[in-house]
Structure 1
Amino acid sequence: MPTAKPAHLVMIGGKSPRQHIWEAIRAVNAGPKELTTYAVARKSGQDDQTVRAYFRDMEQAGIVSKVRNVSRFDAEWRLLKDEGVEAPRVTRGGKVSKYAAGAENIWRALRILGEFSAAEAATAASVNGVSISEIGAHVYLTGLAQAGYLTRSGGTPGVKTRFRLIPSRYSGPKHPIYQRDFKQVYDPNLDQVVWRKSDQEVAE
């Protein structure tokens, strides 16, 4: 049995189709209904073809397995790995991005170390088979800084930007999720979007 994580935690606003599908998968899996392509498509509000494609990619990645074909276009599935709130980033060939795991490790390291550069964050986060690039770490840390979790210093020629955790903004063990495509940060500890770039632009 996969380790269950609270299925009621969902992202608020600005979700990608795969995020909608993933949340539906977790919700259906936690209920009495069979986890089928059809049930997830109806629950998520996404078209059947998009849902089938995501299931196919996750099957190749070992996140789900097919139990049986219900019909030509429908199938029953078993969830093998509950990856938590953030939808697994899976390529068409079944390759899983380690970005989410890297961000989780950065958040954990911030709690312990308090301050580091993107390069140091990437090194600290690249453990236990997880790796994140310096650029990826910089993007994540910048997102947290924009949301008010971190302060920034440096960033001048020859001086790398350093990021420091604001102790009062540590909200819990689950890493805040920077949704780069939507320019917003969702905090699963608070179950809410805590920052949107669009809101900031309106305020300015």
Structure 2
Amino acid sequence: MSKKKPSTMAGDVPPRQYIWDAIRQLNDADAPITMASIQTAMGLECVRRVKQHRIVDYLRNLAAGGYIERTNVSKRPGERAVYTLLRDVGIEAPRVRRDGTCPPPPGREQMWRTLKIIGDFTGAELADAASTVHQPVAKTTADEYITMLVRADYLSVVTPASPGVPGRYRLVPSRWTGPMAPQIRRTKEMYDPNTGTVIYSRVIKTEGGEP
């Protein structure tokens, strides 16, 4: 291929992201989109992580959702499948089911995308703005996410919280790292899948008071 579109995704990304990146690279290079070319574009390390059956399943799902189309429709035994990209929806790999439908985004992703566009907000306002009919976001969930984002310096405090008055917050523009929401891990770390780095880790003290 004469040119390559590097992914801005990094870190613990799902298998579909490697496949989607490869499809977009091949499409940009006007190269055939096949099982073999996808594996080549992904690279050896990614191929080790993403088994062939996952590629087959994701291609089937993308076709059902109208993102790609098989161009050699005869499907003779042993004939390789060649696909065309119909809908390039951007860097983030579509979450598409077997029947071609897409599930609603998780609550944290809804909040992450929402806080970029609503200006300053309280926990209740973020939860309300990010909620959908199929994926409501609770205020407690928003408050927890805001707390971690503040600790990781993604959000600035516009108005500190005080008795009877909720705090107000705003996204720090330079801290928008990409479309995937920073994740809170069980260890109370905040991991940013856009950069592949742990941004914040809570220090847990021992009984003697030492970290």
> TM > 0.5 between the two?
yes
After TM superposition, the structure 1 = structure 2 runs for residues 25-36 of structure 1, keeping only pairs within 5 Å, are 25-36=23-34
Please report the TM-score for the alignment, with normalisation by the length of structure 1: 0.66
- The equivalent residue for 1:178 is 182
1:56 is displaced (CA, Å) by 0.7
What is the root-mean-square deviation in Å for CA atoms of aligned residues?
4.1
Q: 1:166 and 1:179, CA in 2 relative to 1: closer, same or farther beyond 3 A?
A: closer
Among candidates 148, 154, 164, match of residue 169 of structure 2: 164
1:177 aligned partner, one-letter code: A
- The equivalent residue for 2:41 is 43
Maintained 8 Å contact 1:64/1:81: yes
- The equivalent residue for 2:126 is 121
Maintained 8 Å contact 2:115/2:170: no
Maintained 8 Å contact 1:41/1:47: no
- The equivalent residue for 1:3 is none
Maintained 8 Å contact 1:38/1:48: no
- The equivalent residue for 1:95 is 101
User: What is the DSSP-based 3-state SS (H/G/I as helix, E as strand, rest coil) of the residue aligned with 1:115?
Assistant: coil
Q: Does 1:134 align with 2:137?
A: yes
Among candidates 195, 198, 206, match of residue 196 of structure 1: 198
- The equivalent residue for 1:66 is 70
Q: Does 1:12 align with 2:10?
A: yes
Measured against aligned partners, the alpha-carbon deviations of 1:51-83 in whole angstroms (never above 9, x if no partner) come to 010011111122222212576473111222222
The size of the alignment, in residue pairs, is: 185
1:98 is displaced (CA, Å) by 3.6
Q: 1:11 and 1:159, CA in 2 relative to 1: closer, same or farther beyond 3 A?
A: same
- The equivalent residue for 1:150 is 155
CA distance in 2, matches of 1:150, 1:99: 21
Q: Which runs of 5+ in 1 are unaligned?
A: 1-5
1:95 aligned partner, one-letter code: T
Q: 1:59 and 1:14, CA in 2 relative to 1: closer, same or farther beyond 3 A?
A: same
Q: Which runs of 5+ in 2 are unaligned?
A: 205-210
- The equivalent residue for 1:79 is 85
1:79 aligned partner, one-letter code: L
User: What is the DSSP-based 3-state SS (H/G/I as helix, E as strand, rest coil) of the residue aligned with 2:201?
Assistant: helix
1:36 aligned partner, one-letter code: T
CA distance in 2, matches of 1:22, 1:79: 10
Maintained 8 Å contact 1:67/1:76: yes
Please report the TM-score for the alignment, with normalisation by the length of structure 2: 0.64
CA distance in 2, matches of 1:131, 1:66: 32
